[in-house]
Amino acid sequence: MAEAGETTVPAAAPARRQRSWLWRYGTYWALLILILFNIAVTPHFVSWQTVNVNLTQVATIVIVGVGMTLVIATGGIDLSVGSLMAISGALAPIIFLSAFGVAHPALGVALAFVVPVLVAGLFGLFNGWFITRFHVQPIVGTLVLFIAGRGIGQVMTNGNLQVFKNPGFQFIGMGRILGVPFQVLVMLALVALAALVLRRTLFGRQILAVGGNESAARLSGVPIDGVKRAVYAISGLCAGIAGLVVVAINSSSDANLVGLGMELDAIAAVAVGGTLLTGGHATVVGTMIGALIIQLVRYTLLANGVPDAAALVVKAAIIVGAVWLQRRNSRT
Protein backbone atom coordinates (compact mmCIF):
# COMPACT_ATOMS: atom_id res chain seq x y z
CA MET A 1 0.00 0.00 0.00
CA ALA A 2 2.83 2.30 0.86
CA GLU A 3 4.42 1.60 -2.49
CA ALA A 4 1.54 3.32 -4.25
CA GLY A 5 2.44 6.64 -2.68
CA GLU A 6 5.99 6.83 -3.98
CA THR A 7 6.35 8.13 -7.49
CA THR A 8 9.65 9.07 -8.99
CA VAL A 9 11.00 10.03 -12.37
CA PRO A 10 12.51 6.89 -13.88
CA ALA A 11 15.98 8.42 -14.11
CA ALA A 12 16.23 8.89 -10.36
CA ALA A 13 14.95 5.43 -9.48
CA PRO A 14 18.17 3.38 -9.16
CA ALA A 15 19.62 5.63 -6.46
CA ARG A 16 16.43 5.44 -4.45
CA ARG A 17 16.11 1.69 -4.69
CA GLN A 18 19.26 1.32 -2.61
CA ARG A 19 17.65 2.87 0.41
CA SER A 20 16.84 0.43 3.14
CA TRP A 21 13.17 -0.30 3.59
CA LEU A 22 13.37 1.16 7.08
CA TRP A 23 14.30 4.58 5.74
CA ARG A 24 12.06 4.44 2.73
CA TYR A 25 8.92 4.24 4.80
CA GLY A 26 10.20 6.62 7.49
CA THR A 27 7.07 8.78 7.53
CA TYR A 28 4.85 5.71 7.93
CA TRP A 29 7.01 4.45 10.80
CA ALA A 30 6.82 7.85 12.45
CA LEU A 31 3.04 7.79 12.24
CA LEU A 32 2.92 4.24 13.61
CA ILE A 33 5.22 5.11 16.52
CA LEU A 34 3.09 8.16 17.30
CA ILE A 35 -0.07 6.07 17.37
CA LEU A 36 1.53 3.38 19.59
CA PHE A 37 2.88 6.06 21.92
CA ASN A 38 -0.58 7.57 22.22
CA ILE A 39 -2.22 4.21 22.89
CA ALA A 40 0.23 3.71 25.75
CA VAL A 41 0.21 7.22 27.21
CA THR A 42 -2.80 9.33 26.23
CA PRO A 43 -5.98 8.50 28.16
CA HIS A 44 -9.06 7.60 26.09
CA PHE A 45 -7.01 7.60 22.89
CA VAL A 46 -8.50 4.46 21.39
CA SER A 47 -11.94 5.72 20.47
CA TRP A 48 -13.92 6.44 17.35
CA GLN A 49 -14.14 10.05 18.47
CA THR A 50 -10.36 10.50 18.54
CA VAL A 51 -10.13 9.16 15.00
CA ASN A 52 -12.89 11.47 13.83
CA VAL A 53 -11.50 14.56 15.56
CA ASN A 54 -8.05 14.11 14.10
CA LEU A 55 -9.25 13.21 10.61
CA THR A 56 -11.66 16.15 10.58
CA GLN A 57 -8.86 18.48 11.61
CA VAL A 58 -6.52 17.37 8.83
CA ALA A 59 -9.12 17.04 6.07
CA THR A 60 -8.89 20.63 4.83
CA ILE A 61 -5.09 20.68 5.05
CA VAL A 62 -4.88 17.45 3.05
CA ILE A 63 -7.41 18.62 0.44
CA VAL A 64 -5.30 21.74 -0.13
CA GLY A 65 -2.16 19.63 0.18
CA VAL A 66 -3.19 17.42 -2.77
CA GLY A 67 -3.11 20.41 -5.13
CA MET A 68 0.01 21.75 -3.43
CA THR A 69 1.78 18.41 -3.94
CA LEU A 70 1.13 18.54 -7.68
CA VAL A 71 2.32 22.16 -7.88
CA ILE A 72 5.45 21.39 -5.89
CA ALA A 73 6.06 18.29 -8.05
CA THR A 74 6.53 20.66 -11.02
CA GLY A 75 9.07 22.65 -9.00
CA GLY A 76 6.58 25.42 -8.19
CA ILE A 77 4.79 26.60 -5.08
CA ASP A 78 1.34 28.08 -4.46
CA LEU A 79 1.09 30.75 -1.77
CA SER A 80 -2.42 31.81 -2.81
CA VAL A 81 -4.38 28.77 -1.53
CA GLY A 82 -5.47 30.36 1.77
CA SER A 83 -6.75 33.45 -0.03
CA LEU A 84 -8.57 31.34 -2.62
CA MET A 85 -10.24 29.48 0.27
CA ALA A 86 -11.43 32.85 1.57
CA ILE A 87 -12.90 33.74 -1.85
CA SER A 88 -14.68 30.42 -2.23
CA GLY A 89 -15.87 30.52 1.38
CA ALA A 90 -17.24 34.04 0.90
CA LEU A 91 -18.92 33.23 -2.41
CA ALA A 92 -20.92 30.14 -1.34
CA PRO A 93 -23.13 31.85 1.29
CA ILE A 94 -23.62 34.83 -1.02
CA ILE A 95 -25.12 32.44 -3.58
CA PHE A 96 -27.48 30.44 -1.37
CA LEU A 97 -28.49 33.47 0.72
CA SER A 98 -29.29 35.53 -2.39
CA ALA A 99 -32.90 36.09 -3.52
CA PHE A 100 -32.38 33.52 -6.26
CA GLY A 101 -30.90 30.98 -3.84
CA VAL A 102 -33.79 31.41 -1.42
CA ALA A 103 -36.39 31.09 -4.21
CA HIS A 104 -34.80 27.91 -5.59
CA PRO A 105 -33.20 26.21 -2.57
CA ALA A 106 -32.01 23.06 -4.34
CA LEU A 107 -30.54 24.89 -7.30
CA GLY A 108 -29.08 27.52 -4.97
CA VAL A 109 -27.20 24.91 -2.94
CA ALA A 110 -26.01 23.14 -6.08
CA LEU A 111 -24.67 26.41 -7.48
CA ALA A 112 -23.12 27.19 -4.08
CA PHE A 113 -21.08 24.01 -4.46
CA VAL A 114 -20.10 24.42 -8.09
CA VAL A 115 -19.56 28.13 -8.67
CA PRO A 116 -17.13 28.91 -5.81
CA VAL A 117 -14.97 25.91 -6.65
CA LEU A 118 -14.88 26.88 -10.32
CA VAL A 119 -14.07 30.49 -9.45
CA ALA A 120 -11.20 29.34 -7.24
CA GLY A 121 -10.06 27.09 -10.08
CA LEU A 122 -10.12 30.04 -12.49
CA PHE A 123 -8.01 32.08 -10.07
CA GLY A 124 -5.63 29.12 -9.94
CA LEU A 125 -5.56 29.12 -13.74
CA PHE A 126 -4.72 32.83 -13.55
CA ASN A 127 -1.72 31.93 -11.35
CA GLY A 128 -0.60 29.40 -13.94
CA TRP A 129 -1.10 31.81 -16.82
CA PHE A 130 0.78 34.58 -15.03
CA ILE A 131 3.69 32.30 -14.16
CA THR A 132 4.04 30.73 -17.62
CA ARG A 133 3.21 33.75 -19.78
CA PHE A 134 5.65 36.15 -18.07
CA HIS A 135 8.18 33.60 -16.79
CA VAL A 136 7.54 34.74 -13.24
CA GLN A 137 8.87 32.76 -10.31
CA PRO A 138 6.04 30.82 -8.64
CA ILE A 139 6.62 32.48 -5.26
CA VAL A 140 6.15 35.92 -6.79
CA GLY A 141 3.42 34.84 -9.18
CA THR A 142 1.22 33.41 -6.45
CA LEU A 143 2.14 36.19 -4.00
CA VAL A 144 -0.10 38.47 -6.11
CA LEU A 145 -3.24 36.49 -5.29
CA PHE A 146 -2.04 35.79 -1.76
CA ILE A 147 -2.21 39.56 -1.19
CA ALA A 148 -5.13 40.44 -3.47
CA GLY A 149 -7.24 37.27 -3.02
CA ARG A 150 -8.19 37.75 0.61
CA GLY A 151 -8.92 41.39 -0.23
CA ILE A 152 -11.29 40.25 -2.99
CA GLY A 153 -13.09 38.00 -0.50
CA GLN A 154 -13.29 40.85 2.02
CA VAL A 155 -14.56 43.31 -0.56
CA MET A 156 -17.25 40.84 -1.70
CA THR A 157 -18.59 40.59 1.85
CA ASN A 158 -17.50 44.08 2.93
CA GLY A 159 -15.51 42.34 5.64
CA ASN A 160 -18.70 41.17 7.36
CA LEU A 161 -19.29 37.83 8.99
CA GLN A 162 -21.92 35.82 7.08
CA VAL A 163 -23.85 33.56 9.46
CA PHE A 164 -26.11 30.86 8.02
CA LYS A 165 -27.88 27.59 8.71
CA ASN A 166 -28.32 25.46 5.61
CA PRO A 167 -28.22 21.68 6.25
CA GLY A 168 -28.07 20.90 2.53
CA PHE A 169 -24.96 22.96 1.97
CA GLN A 170 -23.38 22.13 5.31
CA PHE A 171 -23.44 18.41 4.56
CA ILE A 172 -19.96 18.90 3.07
CA GLY A 173 -18.64 19.86 6.50
CA MET A 174 -21.05 18.25 8.99
CA GLY A 175 -22.55 15.28 7.17
CA ARG A 176 -21.63 11.66 7.78
CA ILE A 177 -21.86 8.56 5.66
CA LEU A 178 -21.78 5.33 7.70
CA GLY A 179 -20.39 7.37 10.58
CA VAL A 180 -17.47 8.77 8.58
CA PRO A 181 -17.44 12.57 8.20
CA PHE A 182 -18.16 13.52 4.59
CA GLN A 183 -15.12 15.81 4.36
CA VAL A 184 -12.89 12.85 5.27
CA LEU A 185 -14.39 10.91 2.35
CA VAL A 186 -13.77 13.90 0.07
CA MET A 187 -10.17 13.96 1.31
CA LEU A 188 -9.65 10.24 0.70
CA ALA A 189 -11.23 10.41 -2.76
CA LEU A 190 -9.01 13.33 -3.80
CA VAL A 191 -5.87 11.66 -2.45
CA ALA A 192 -6.68 8.42 -4.27
CA LEU A 193 -7.48 10.26 -7.50
CA ALA A 194 -4.32 12.37 -7.40
CA ALA A 195 -2.11 9.39 -6.50
CA LEU A 196 -3.59 7.49 -9.43
CA VAL A 197 -3.11 10.41 -11.82
CA LEU A 198 0.46 10.94 -10.67
CA ARG A 199 1.35 7.27 -10.99
CA ARG A 200 -0.68 5.92 -13.87
CA THR A 201 -1.33 8.70 -16.35
CA LEU A 202 0.65 10.59 -18.94
CA PHE A 203 -0.27 13.83 -17.22
CA GLY A 204 1.27 12.52 -13.98
CA ARG A 205 4.49 11.59 -15.78
CA GLN A 206 4.58 15.02 -17.39
CA ILE A 207 4.19 16.75 -14.01
CA LEU A 208 7.20 14.88 -12.62
CA ALA A 209 9.19 15.40 -15.81
CA VAL A 210 8.65 19.18 -15.64
CA GLY A 211 9.76 19.24 -12.02
CA GLY A 212 12.68 16.86 -12.54
CA ASN A 213 14.35 18.61 -15.44
CA GLU A 214 12.46 21.29 -17.26
CA SER A 215 14.87 21.61 -20.17
CA ALA A 216 14.90 17.86 -20.80
CA ALA A 217 11.10 17.74 -20.54
CA ARG A 218 10.84 20.56 -23.08
CA LEU A 219 13.16 18.76 -25.48
CA SER A 220 11.15 15.56 -25.19
CA GLY A 221 8.00 17.39 -26.18
CA VAL A 222 6.22 17.85 -22.87
CA PRO A 223 3.84 20.84 -23.08
CA ILE A 224 5.46 22.52 -20.09
CA ASP A 225 3.29 25.63 -19.93
CA GLY A 226 0.10 23.61 -20.26
CA VAL A 227 1.13 21.22 -17.49
CA LYS A 228 2.00 24.12 -15.19
CA ARG A 229 -1.27 25.94 -15.87
CA ALA A 230 -3.14 22.71 -15.15
CA VAL A 231 -1.49 22.07 -11.77
CA TYR A 232 -2.13 25.62 -10.56
CA ALA A 233 -5.75 25.33 -11.69
CA ILE A 234 -6.06 22.02 -9.82
CA SER A 235 -4.53 23.63 -6.74
CA GLY A 236 -7.15 26.39 -7.02
CA LEU A 237 -9.97 23.84 -7.31
CA CYS A 238 -8.71 22.00 -4.21
CA ALA A 239 -8.48 25.26 -2.28
CA GLY A 240 -12.04 26.08 -3.39
CA ILE A 241 -13.34 22.77 -2.01
CA ALA A 242 -11.44 23.27 1.26
CA GLY A 243 -12.95 26.77 1.61
CA LEU A 244 -16.47 25.30 1.34
CA VAL A 245 -15.66 22.68 3.98
CA VAL A 246 -14.35 25.29 6.42
CA VAL A 247 -17.36 27.62 6.18
CA ALA A 248 -19.76 24.65 6.35
CA ILE A 249 -18.15 23.49 9.63
CA ASN A 250 -18.25 26.99 11.10
CA SER A 251 -21.83 27.75 9.98
CA SER A 252 -20.38 31.12 9.08
CA SER A 253 -17.99 32.70 6.65
CA ASP A 254 -15.42 35.29 7.67
CA ALA A 255 -13.20 36.29 4.75
CA ASN A 256 -10.65 37.69 7.22
CA LEU A 257 -10.03 34.27 8.73
CA VAL A 258 -10.97 31.45 6.33
CA GLY A 259 -7.79 29.68 5.22
CA LEU A 260 -5.47 32.05 7.08
CA GLY A 261 -1.98 30.49 7.14
CA MET A 262 -3.22 27.48 5.14
CA GLU A 263 -0.47 27.82 2.51
CA LEU A 264 2.20 27.19 5.11
CA ASP A 265 0.32 24.30 6.77
CA ALA A 266 -0.11 22.62 3.40
CA ILE A 267 3.52 23.16 2.40
CA ALA A 268 4.64 21.76 5.76
CA ALA A 269 2.50 18.65 5.24
CA VAL A 270 3.92 18.21 1.73
CA ALA A 271 7.50 18.56 2.99
CA VAL A 272 7.07 16.24 5.97
CA GLY A 273 5.34 13.75 3.67
CA GLY A 274 8.49 13.34 1.60
CA THR A 275 7.81 15.36 -1.55
CA LEU A 276 10.93 17.20 -2.66
CA LEU A 277 10.43 20.97 -2.71
CA THR A 278 12.69 21.19 -5.73
CA GLY A 279 10.26 19.08 -7.76
CA GLY A 280 10.51 15.85 -9.71
CA HIS A 281 9.51 13.53 -6.88
CA ALA A 282 6.10 13.54 -5.27
CA THR A 283 3.88 11.43 -3.07
CA VAL A 284 0.28 12.44 -2.44
CA VAL A 285 -0.26 9.69 0.13
CA GLY A 286 2.87 10.97 1.87
CA THR A 287 1.30 14.43 2.08
CA MET A 288 -1.70 12.93 3.86
CA ILE A 289 0.60 11.03 6.24
CA GLY A 290 2.64 14.21 6.80
CA ALA A 291 -0.49 16.18 7.70
CA LEU A 292 -1.59 13.37 10.03
CA ILE A 293 1.80 13.34 11.77
CA ILE A 294 1.75 17.10 12.34
CA GLN A 295 -1.84 16.93 13.58
CA LEU A 296 -1.26 13.90 15.80
CA VAL A 297 1.79 15.45 17.46
CA ARG A 298 -0.24 18.54 18.28
CA TYR A 299 -3.09 16.38 19.58
CA THR A 300 -0.68 14.33 21.71
CA LEU A 301 0.84 17.44 23.27
CA LEU A 302 -2.50 19.12 23.93
CA ALA A 303 -4.06 15.92 25.33
CA ASN A 304 -1.13 15.63 27.72
CA GLY A 305 -1.39 19.18 29.00
CA VAL A 306 1.32 20.92 26.95
CA PRO A 307 0.29 24.51 26.02
CA ASP A 308 -0.51 25.24 22.37
CA ALA A 309 2.39 27.71 22.08
CA ALA A 310 4.90 25.01 23.00
CA ALA A 311 3.22 22.70 20.48
CA LEU A 312 4.12 25.26 17.79
CA VAL A 313 7.79 25.02 18.70
CA VAL A 314 7.62 21.23 18.60
CA LYS A 315 5.89 21.40 15.20
CA ALA A 316 8.81 23.48 13.93
CA ALA A 317 11.28 20.88 15.19
CA ILE A 318 9.31 18.08 13.51
CA ILE A 319 9.32 19.83 10.14
CA VAL A 320 13.08 20.39 10.28
CA GLY A 321 13.74 16.89 11.61
CA ALA A 322 11.58 15.14 9.03
CA VAL A 323 13.04 17.04 6.09
CA TRP A 324 16.56 16.47 7.39
CA LEU A 325 16.00 12.72 7.68
CA GLN A 326 14.61 12.54 4.14
CA ARG A 327 17.54 14.52 2.84
CA ARG A 328 19.97 12.26 4.62
CA ASN A 329 18.50 9.06 3.32
CA SER A 330 18.08 10.35 -0.22
CA ARG A 331 21.84 10.95 -0.33
CA THR A 332 22.89 7.48 0.77
Enumerate binding residues for another protein (CB under 8 A): 77, 79, 130, 134-137, 139-141, 143-152, 154-155, 158-159, 213-215, 260-261, 264, 267-268, 271, 277-278, 307-313, 315-317, 319-320, 323-324, 327
Minimal distance, residue 185 CB to another protein, in Å: 30
Minimal distance, residue 130 CB to another protein, in Å: 7
CB nearer to another protein: pick between 54 and 213: 213
Minimal distance, residue 243 CB to another protein, in Å: 17
Q: List phi, psi (to 5°) of 165.
A: -140, 105
Closest alpha carbon to 211 in 231, 189, 195? 231
| Gap between the terminal Cα atoms of the chain | 24
Minimal distance, residue 141 CB to another protein, in Å: 7
CB nearer to another protein: pick between 29 and 324: 324
Classify 251 in phi/psi space as left (phi over 0), alpha (psi -120 to 50) or beta. left
Minimal distance, residue 322 CB to another protein, in Å: 9
Provide the CA 136 distance to its chain's centre, in angstroms. Answer: 23
CB nearer to another protein: pick between 64 and 145: 145
CB nearer to another protein: pick between 87 and 288: 87
Minimal distance, residue 140 CB to another protein, in Å: 5
CB nearer to another protein: pick between 86 and 197: 86
CB nearer to another protein: pick between 179 and 307: 307
Rg (CA), the chain: 20
C-alpha span between 4 and 307 (Å, rounded) = 37
